[in-house]
């Protein structure tokens, strides 16, 4: 059903939890922000660009799914660190504080060229991890391929104070699943599995917001 315009293994893994089939068709875009561009505008522009480019080369049926996730510390946008030193700087800056993670989902139904946009924002509380923990985490190499230099799912480091997290957990991973389900409903498509249950089993996080997102059908 889906043509996923992303090379992210995390998005592919998360999408599989919905039970919907997907063909992975990555699209390359320049992800550098335009001067003065905010987090939501950047995520929207990149997701829309990915979806449009994927649609140009796709067959006439199916649904294009594109998403972009931006980590924002105030007005500063945090991409993937260029090296271990930059990873350390990011982790020190985020330590013990809240920051925002914004994902924009763009769906294009190819048969009728119907496009829908969904936005999810999560306020992420970081725990007060030690310098030693930072050093061990960076030595693992894991922060270097992640925006903001961390993965919420990295159990060895556990950078996020998850007990205080009130928003969507998988948004921080790169694909807010209940927001995707809500968007697909607008196109008349329903997942073959209980997505909130599958999501919580996968993440181990007791989600406090899925009923709010999905309403009575959750």
- Looking at residue 58, its pLDDT comes to 74
Give the count of domains, the chain: 1
CATH number where 123 lies: 3.90.950.10
Q: Are 106 and 50 in contact (CB under 8 A)?
A: yes
Q: What is the pLDDT of residues 195-208, one digit of tens each?
A: 999 999 999 999 99
Structural domain including 126 reads 2-217
Q: Which of 51-65, 86-100, 153-167 has the highest mean pLDDT?
A: 86-100
Specify the pLDDT at position 93.
Answer: 97
Residue 217 bears catalytic tag: no
Instruction: Identify the pLDDT of residue 218.
Output: 66
Identify the CA nearest to 46 among candidates 61, 34, 36. 34
pLDDT number for residue 216? 67
> Residue 103: its pLDDT value, please?
98
Its pTM surpasses 0.75: yes
Q: Which of 215, 187, 186, 111 is nearest to 196 (CA)?
A: 215
Report d(CA 60, CA 47) in Å as an integer. 20
| Average pLDDT of the segment spanning 144-159 | 94
Q: Which of 30, 68, 73, 154 is catalytic?
A: 68
The separation between CA 107 and the C-alpha centre of its own chain, rounded to angstroms, equals: 15
């Amino acid at each position: 059903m889906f043509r996923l315009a992303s090379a992210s293994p995390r998005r592919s893994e998360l999408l599989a939890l919905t039970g919907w089939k997907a063909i992975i068709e990555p699209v390359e875009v320049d992800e550098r922000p335009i001067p003065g561009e905010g987090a939501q505008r950047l995520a929207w522009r990149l997701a829309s660009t990915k979806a449009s480019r994927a649609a140009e080369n796709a067959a006439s049926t199916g649904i294009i799914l594109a998403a972009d996730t931006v980590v924002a510390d105030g007005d500063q946008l945090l991409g993937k660190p260029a090296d271990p030193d930059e990873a350390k700087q990011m982790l020190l800056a985020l330590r013990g504080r809240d920051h925002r993670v914004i994902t924009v989902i763009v769906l294009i139904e190819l048969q009728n060229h119907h496009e829908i946009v969904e936005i999810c924002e999560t306020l992420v509380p970081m725990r007060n991890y030690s310098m030693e923990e930072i050093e061990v985490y960076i030595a693992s190499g894991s922060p270097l391929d992640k925006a903001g230099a961390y993965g919420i799912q990295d159990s060895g480091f556990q950078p996020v104070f998850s007990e205080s997290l009130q928003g969507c957990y998988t948004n921080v991973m790169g694909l807010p699943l209940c927001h995707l389900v809500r968007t697909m409903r607008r196109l008349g498509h329903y997942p073959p599995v209980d997505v909130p249950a599958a999501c919580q089993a996968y993440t181990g996080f007791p989600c406090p917001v899925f009923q709010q997102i999905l309403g009575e059908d959750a």
